[in-house]
């Protein structure tokens, strides 16, 4: 079980667990909240079969990674990703993020640049700016985040189950798209997370990525469900696609937030097709 040590000045060492499989052009998978790298179960085989090297890691506080008391902000998350990229010396990489992972990619590219990156895929998009403010009137009211924090403090295990029901739209999609056993598997991943990290990540959701968007310079594919209850497409993927010219938005009909599982066929096809575009261009 490989680990990568990362640390900030004045803090204890934090170890990130990762899996590094296959060979070929590297694809880095960055999971959503409150899951872990194991959430990419339906993407990893497809990427390996297509001839890619696949690296999936657990965000600090989640999965098998260390569970520190601090560092649950996007500057730190981006620094962790940068340490992974440089330590493994990844080049020409494709960054694929889901939910919170889309924030890592956006902040990483905005702060560290694209020297090691060929392109990116953002699934269930969080940026550019989720919080409703005077200059972002279409955002989500701050009271929503406060209610989430209150529910987590009261009983994070109960909240995690309620969240996952809306994460997968299980009341609508039913067993055909997400079984109860798969729901329980996701809940187990959530329950394994750091209680501190579980809560503090909510504060990170209100990060303003609009400056980062101005610094992006690689092609991005956005994949978002039109029935996403967690990150409504009108407040996230649509303004992102309008704010960054070199992006393409694919909308998944009836897709919930957890489309990497419920609509893996569409997600995998779009990811692989987007990666293949570069190879076809080079061949031409």
Antiparallel, parallel or unpaired: β 117-123 and 93-98: parallel
Would you please indicate which residues are annotated as catalytic (active-site) residues?
99, 228, 257
Predicted confidence at residue 255, as pLDDT, reads 98
Percent of the chain at pLDDT above 90?
Answer: 93
**Residue 270 near residue 224 (C-beta atoms within 8 A):** no
* pLDDT tens track for 150-187: 999 999 999 999 999 999 999 999 888 999 999 999 99
| CA of residue 210 relative to chain centroid, distance | 17
Is residue 146 exposed (0-12), middle (13-18) or buried (19+ Cβ within 10 Å)? Answer: exposed
**What's the pTM value of the predicted model, to 2 decimals?**
0.97
The whole-number pLDDT of residue 9 equals 56
Q: So what's the pLDDT on residue 13? A: 87
Residues lower than pLDDT 50 in the chain = none
Quick count: other Cβ atoms within 10 Å of Cβ 89?
8
Correct CATH for 3-283 of 3.40.50.2300, 3.30.360.10, 3.40.50.300, 3.40.50.1820: 3.40.50.1820
Residue at token pair 């393409």: 248
Neighbours of 46 (CB within 10 A): 18
Q: Where are the domains of the chain?
A: 3-283
């Amino acid at each position: 079980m490989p680990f990568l040590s990362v640390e900030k000045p004045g803090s204890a060492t934090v170890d990130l667990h990762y899996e590094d499989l296959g060979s070929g052009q590297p694809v880095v998978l960055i999971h959503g909240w409150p899951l872990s790298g194991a959430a990419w179960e339906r993407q990893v085989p497809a990427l390996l079969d297509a001839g890619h090297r696949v690296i999936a890691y657990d965000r600090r506080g989640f999965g098998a990674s260390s569970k520190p008391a601090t560092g649950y902000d996007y500057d730190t998350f981006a620094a962790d990703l940068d340490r992974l990229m440089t330590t493994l010396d990844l080049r020409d990489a494709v960054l694929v993020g889901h939910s919170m992972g889309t924030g890592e990619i956006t902040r990483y590219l905005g702060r560290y640049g694209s020297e090691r990156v060929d392109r990116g895929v953002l699934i269930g998009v969080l940026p550019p700016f989720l919080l409703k403010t005077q200059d972002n009137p279409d955002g989500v009211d701050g009271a929503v985040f406060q209610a989430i924090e209150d529910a987590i403090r009261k009983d994070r295990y109960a909240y995690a189950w309620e969240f996952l029901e809306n994460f997968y739209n299980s009341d609508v999609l039913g067993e055909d798209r997400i079984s109860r056993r798969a729901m329980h598997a996701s809940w187990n991943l959530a329950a394994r997370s750091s209680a501190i990290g579980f809560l503090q990540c909510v504060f990170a959701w209100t990060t303003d990525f609009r400056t980062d968007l101005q610094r992006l310079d690689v092609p991005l594919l956005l994949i978002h469900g039109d029935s996403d209850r967690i990150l409504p497409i009108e407040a996230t993927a649509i303004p992102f696609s309008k704010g960054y010219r070199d992006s393409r938005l694919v909308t998944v009909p009836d897709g919930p937030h957890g489309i990497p599982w419920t609509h893996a066929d569409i997600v995998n096809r779009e990811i692989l097709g987007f990666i293949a575009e570069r190879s076809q261009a080079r061949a031409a």
